[in-house]
């Protein structure tokens, strides 16, 4: 089937689009968007890929579900649209960046600026019904995004994977550790961060250190 996604990703992921589960997923998502308010907007469902072409992927951050409040989700994990208040996890991400790489706390929570530098901001589930967290889980998205992780792992080298929290850490089983770098920590959500599992992980400086060793440009967090 024809999926509107960035061409370099489409070339690698086309086999997934032809599988029965993806057709069922497409039917489900189409029904949900026609009958309920869902996020992100249809044009932003694959935004993580559109901002970060396949061969330019240097870093992968894995989230779980899009934000389910009005005007928050923009298709990139942890990211919100310009002018939207920062959710608690994003606040803690920016706080760690401020300490780790001494970068001022930003006004905008829109992380497109990261994606445009080669950071794939991948939610495991790419859509959600408004005010109903997890409502589109176990419908096929996870199979698709697992395939994305496996494709990055098998066809690229030297990618830095940032796995935050128990859910993301499980994805390490999909990654070839002989070819890539994996950094893990607690989740930036207040529940985890306030228990000392997030702050001080220095993932942003560590990522840039790894990229530098490989002769690749750093990320301007």
Token digits of residue 218: 């750093």
Side-chain half-sphere of 93: how many Cα atoms within 13 Å? 23
From CA 2, how far away is CA 132, in angstroms rounded?
Answer: 29
3-state helix, strand, coil in the chain (%, to 5): 45, 10, 45
Phi, psi angle pair for 71, to nearest 5°:
60, 20
Strand partners, 122: 62
From CA 31, how far away is CA 73, in angstroms rounded?
Answer: 19
From CA 148, how far away is CA 161, in angstroms rounded?
Answer: 13
From CA 194, how far away is CA 186, in angstroms rounded?
Answer: 10
Side-chain half-sphere of 183: how many Cα atoms within 13 Å? 22
- Whose tokens are 């990320």? That residue is 219
Catalytic residue among 2, 27, 50, 65, which? 65
Q: Which helix (H) or strand (E) holds 195?
A: none
Q: Is 65 a catalytic residue?
A: yes
List active site positions.
Answer: 65
């Amino acid at each position: 089937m024809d999926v509107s996604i960035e061409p370099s990703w489409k070339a690698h992921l086309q086999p997934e689009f032809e599988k029965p589960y993806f057709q069922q997923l497409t039917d489900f998502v189409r029904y949900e968007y026609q009958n309920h308010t869902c996020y992100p907007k249809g044009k932003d469902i694959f935004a993580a890929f559109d901002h970060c072409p396949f061969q330019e992927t240097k870093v992968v951050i894995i989230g779980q579900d899009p934000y389910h409040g009005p005007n928050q989700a923009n298709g990139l994990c942890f990211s919100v649209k310009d002018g939207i208040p920062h959710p608690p996890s994003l606040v803690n991400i920016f706080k760690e960046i401020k300490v780790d790489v001494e970068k001022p706390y930003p006004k905008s929570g829109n992380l497109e600026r990261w994606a445009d530098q080669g950071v794939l901001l991948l939610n495991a589930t790419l859509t959600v019904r408004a005010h109903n967290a997890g409502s589109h889980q176990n419908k096929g998205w996870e199979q698709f995004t697992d395939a994305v992780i496996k494709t990055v792992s098998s066809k690229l080298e030297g990618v830095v994977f940032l796995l935050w929290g128990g859910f993301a850490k499980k994805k390490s089983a999909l990654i070839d550790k002989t070819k890539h770098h994996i950094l893990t920590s607690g989740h930036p959500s207040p529940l985890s961060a306030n228990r000392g599992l997030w702050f001080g992980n220095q993932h942003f400086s560590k990522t840039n250190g790894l990229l530098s060793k490989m002769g690749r440009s750093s990320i301007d967090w």
